Structure 1
Amino acid sequence: MNAPHLPKVAGIDSTVPPPAHTAPPVQPAQGAPAAPGAQGAPGALIQDRLAGWVSDLTTLHELNERLSRTAALDGALTELLRAGAALVGARRGLVVLEPADGLGPTTTVGLGLARADLGHLETVPRAATSFGRLLDATAGATPGAPDCAPAAKTAPPAAAPVTEIVQPDLLADEALDPRHREVAVRLGYAASYALPLLTDTAGRVGVVVWLYDEPAEPAARQRHLIGRYLQYATEHLARLVDLDRARSTTATLRAELLPPRLPRVAGVQLAARHSTGPRGGGDWFDALPLPDAALGLAVGSVTGSGPSAVAAMGRLRASLRAYAVMEGEDPVAVLSDLELLLRLTEPARSATALFAFCEPALRKIVLAGAGHSPPLIVGERRTEFVETSLSAPLGMLACWEAPSVDIRPEPGETLLLYTDGLLQRTGDAMDRAFARLHAAAASVPKAARDDPGKIADHVLRTVLPEGLDGTDGPAAAASEEDVVLLAARFE
């Protein structure tokens, strides 16, 4: 007789049924005839046990496959809680992410617990919670997973490694902290099972706790399964923690390299919106006050992604600022100098850029572009792309050159500068993306035309319905592109 296999992960029950075993063979009384088939009972027992082991391995494999498909830390934590709840027979739980090195990130994610419920748990003294005791006990512990032997219900000696904390009946525990008892009654849980998340290289990553509605505790086989599952899951979490740290560092570096605030220049209002892709790209913008009440506006994009592209973007933006101060009234000269610098210092990299020299008092703009998308003029009487000449990106030719373009915006008109990421995020072909951008700019409500920030927000909402940071809809495949939008409204 074969043991019933566990259901597939998509519909796994909240409990893991123990493998079906045949009863041990009953020895017939001396002199009595042997029961038919009695001699086959030992073979059936072994077969049932093997079937149970195969079922367990299949379940763990499927759960690990599901976890491996999570690319974000929050999604991995949620999947860990769901899979663990199925393995230990719980309905709710929480995972506290607190790496032992103190470098973060630190967060608490709940399963079946609202944010207010997590807030109630945070009011319990740390030493009175199982996850708090495990976090403190494993500050310098070495990794270890619980085996199938039941753990002691009481806390182990201080010198012994803490591998789990089982609280099978919280409300019957006279030593339970009064505040913990109050929160348990409020949230409706009566038992808990906590395990540390430990890795060989990173040490402690955090702690996971599952909560039972009634007094209960996982069986020996359930503990064995969850221990094996956590061996892989914790390593996966540690990799995502490292990735999250790298992304956070890149985002911080990029934010520091971009203008922390836009300047105030008489005769013009400025607004900027930008979003960085998950890998960190090299799109940038700048607004620089220049002598004689002039203003320099720039947007650009560096090829590549990651920290190297962000560093190259910072160097390029800083160099353009220097050239703009020296010869900003001639945008072609500014971009020519920038192209020469890029070709000499980073010959393997190219970039697109657009620089505009603005005189707000005269409502005059002189701009030049290097392989960059044309800007938009948005006003009550017109919404049109600026007719810039075709030009190559910086670093692509032995000698870059392109003519400049003069623009005379009317009072109340807004100049929109943007990077190609805005068009690529749409997921459309470039001609359709340009048409969508033009339609979005033309549909700006009259009440919003006096505020460049509202204009920028309307354009982004119309062109990218999923938002700057969304990944839903047809543009999900292109969501890794950076987006920059710089709006300048002339009074």
Structure 2
Amino acid sequence: MASNAPVGKPTDMSSPRLPKVAGIDSTVPAPPHTVAPLPGVPLAAPPSDAALPPGVLIQDRLASWVSDLTTLHELTERLIKTDSLDGALREMLGAGAALVGARRGMAVLEPADGLGPTSTIGLGLAHADLGTIETVPRGSGSYGRLLDGLPEAEPPGAGLPDADPPEAGLPGNGPTAPRRPARVPEPIAIRDVRTEEGLDPRHREVAARLGYAASYALPLATEEAGRLGAAVWLYDEPAEPDERRRHLIGLYGRFATEHLARLLQVERARARVATVAEELLPSRLPRVPGVRLAVRHLTGPQGGGDWYDALPLPEGALGLAVGSVSGTGPSALAAMGRLRASLRAYAVMEGEDPVAVLSDLELLLRLTEPARSATALFAYAEPAQRRIVLAGAGHAPPLVVGDHRTEFVETSLSAPLGMLTCWEAPSVELSPAPGETVLLYTDGLLRRTGDATDRAFARLHAAASSVPRADRSDPGAVADHVLRTLLPGGLDPAVEGEDVVLLAARFE
């Protein structure tokens, strides 16, 4: 009885096939690497014995691919934890150096839309070294060619053979048709700077001065994000990454670019919010005889509703105000702008009576924005007489700083604006001595310390008391000393929280 013969090619059907692993091209060979990777993130070295049995070779290659996947996972996990453009660029440079087997490098952030921000970060290069590299003509440097040579998005059909003209009104035609994503340029490898053709003599001179012999440049660009910049790694000896390393750095580079694109959007949003907040506040402080003014305004990532004002009033008087509205973000900024503009109008009409100014402000807030509350402090100052009349609505009391005293002004307790059906509280009058500085501030200064309210007030008093005598004649130096003492690390822009306003008025 004849046996059944197999159909087709038995050898091809029964031969083992390499498995496909997501994100890794199984056709890419895995030659051994010679440069140490990042600490704790080893790159797997494939077997060097070409005579191994097929099964063993497959297992070793599979183990190498799994190791590569693990490496990329750990590197991307490190990158995703960065929350600033500077931090992401530095992490990307370090990880890329391990993947391509280099020791030094630099990254240039230069978005193609020209809206910024721009920056240059170095790995193993001093600031002067970066400046030296930037003297190389951009057309000769690999990273410069990537930055200047990325094509912009082309309209659909560009580069295709001519066809019949599209009919008007059909989908996809006309000025609103979607644009084809920009093409991403290929990485540029210069294996030996000394022998590479077409390089500018200045490029070879800089390479000899800094001691590098080869480079590998990667575009920080994807079809979706466009061009954000470029990274270049420098080798001490003539070299270039092998095919496996190119594949890994390409995968990592695409992920890094998308992460940088997200951080860029966040950074631009923060910059716009900060710009709007600054435009809603005075562009400069007025000059009034008998008093010197200084202000410090620190803004959080979302942009809070803290504000200040200083406006000259009739007969040489001066109006000083600080306050905050509830909430953060654009809506709080808009409410802050409306509140500040209204207070200016009331101050011009009846500024000598701070209680009347805040009462009018309370009525306006209650009628126009019933769901919002605000705190405010308004002071009517007559510098020539060194006389101040002030009233506060749910606001922290001012602080008087001088050679012979540092004390809080005793003000009456009052609810914030918008909390009562009718707001009214007695005003307080004080007379600063010559050379004394009155500090007006928002609650954000106290809350940003992270302490309980009583502890924060005590720290503020201690900070004001410790102002060096030589700095007490300058209101700006007084404000800076208080901020450095209370917030030694500054205002972390990545940490959610209230804004900080500190307005200092020194009376002559």
Please classify the TM superposition score into its range, dividing by the shorter chain length. Answer: 0.7 to 0.9
What do the CA deviations read for 1:350-406 (whole angstroms, capped 9, x no partner)? 221111011112221111111111111112222111111111112223322222111
Aligned partners of 1:99 and 1:106 also within 8 Å: yes
Structure 1 residue 8 displacement after superposition: 9.2
The 5-angstrom pairing of residues 228-307 of structure 1 reads: 228-307=251-330
Q: SS at the partner of 1:126?
A: coil
The 5-angstrom pairing of residues 193-208 of structure 1 reads: 193-208=216-231
Q: SS at the partner of 2:194?
A: helix
Map of 1:124 onto structure 2:
136
User: Is 2:93 the counterpart of 1:81?
Assistant: yes
One-letter code aligned to 2:379: A
Q: Compare 189-198 and 393-402 and name the one that shifted more.
A: 393-402
CA distance in 2, matches of 1:17, 1:454: 57
Aligned partners of 2:286 and 2:312 also within 8 Å: yes
TM normalised by structure 2 equals 0.84
TM normalised by structure 1 equals 0.87
Map of 1:105 onto structure 2:
117
CA distance in 1, matches of 2:54, 2:420: 81
The 5-angstrom pairing of residues 116-195 of structure 1 reads: 116-140=128-152, 162-195=185-218
Map of 1:346 onto structure 2:
369
Structure 1 residue 10 displacement after superposition: 4.6
User: Is 2:393 the counterpart of 1:370?
Assistant: yes
Aligned partners of 2:439 and 2:502 also within 8 Å: yes
Aligned partners of 1:194 and 1:209 also within 8 Å: yes
CA distance in 1, matches of 2:123, 2:184: 27
Structure 1 residue 439 displacement after superposition: 1.1
One-letter code aligned to 2:54: P
One-letter code aligned to 2:47: A
The 5-angstrom pairing of residues 311-460 of structure 1 reads: 311-460=334-483
User: Is 2:18 the counterpart of 1:18?
Assistant: no
One-letter code aligned to 1:430: T
Structure 1 residue 202 displacement after superposition: 2.6
Structure 1 residue 161 displacement after superposition: 6.0
Aligned partners of 1:9 and 1:63 also within 8 Å: no
Map of 2:26 onto structure 1:
none
Aligned residues: 450
CA distance in 2, matches of 1:61, 1:260: 48
CA distance in 2, matches of 1:74, 1:214: 29
CA distance in 1, matches of 2:133, 2:282: 41
Aligned partners of 1:9 and 1:59 also within 8 Å: no
What do the CA deviations read for 1:302-359 (whole angstroms, capped 9, x no partner)? 2222232222222221111111111111111111222222223333322211110111
Structure 1 residue 136 displacement after superposition: 2.0
Structure 1 residue 415 displacement after superposition: 0.8
What do the CA deviations read for 1:271-323 (whole angstroms, capped 9, x no partner)? 11121122222211111100111100001112222232222222221111111
Q: From the superposition, tell whether residues 7 and 348 of structure 1 become closer, same or farther in structure 2 (CA, over 3 Å).
A: farther
Aligned partners of 1:275 and 1:483 also within 8 Å: yes
What do the CA deviations read for 1:443-465 (whole angstroms, capped 9, x no partner)? 22222222212221222222222
Structure 1 residue 141 displacement after superposition: 6.1
Aligned partners of 2:37 and 2:98 also within 8 Å: no
One-letter code aligned to 2:87: G
CA distance in 1, matches of 2:151, 2:183: 13
One-letter code aligned to 2:50: A
Aligned partners of 1:131 and 1:194 also within 8 Å: yes
CA distance in 1, matches of 2:100, 2:153: 24
- CA RMSD of superposed structures (Å): 2.4
Q: SS at the partner of 2:385?
A: coil
In structure 1, list runs of 5 or more residues that go unmatched. 26-40, 143-158
Aligned partners of 1:21 and 1:45 also within 8 Å: no
CA distance in 2, matches of 1:160, 1:391: 63
Map of 1:483 onto structure 2:
500
Aligned partners of 2:150 and 2:183 also within 8 Å: no
User: Is 2:74 the counterpart of 1:94?
Assistant: no
Aligned partners of 2:389 and 2:430 also within 8 Å: yes
In structure 2, list runs of 5 or more residues that go unmatched. 1-29, 155-181
Aligned partners of 1:22 and 1:48 also within 8 Å: no
One-letter code aligned to 1:394: L
Q: Compare 329-338 and 397-406 and name the one that shifted more.
A: 397-406
Q: Name segments (4+ residues, structure 1) moved above 6 Å.
A: 3-8
User: Is 2:126 the counterpart of 1:114?
Assistant: yes
Q: SS at the partner of 1:278?
A: coil
Aligned partners of 1:452 and 1:487 also within 8 Å: yes
One-letter code aligned to 2:227: R
User: Identity over aligned residues, as a percent?
Assistant: 73
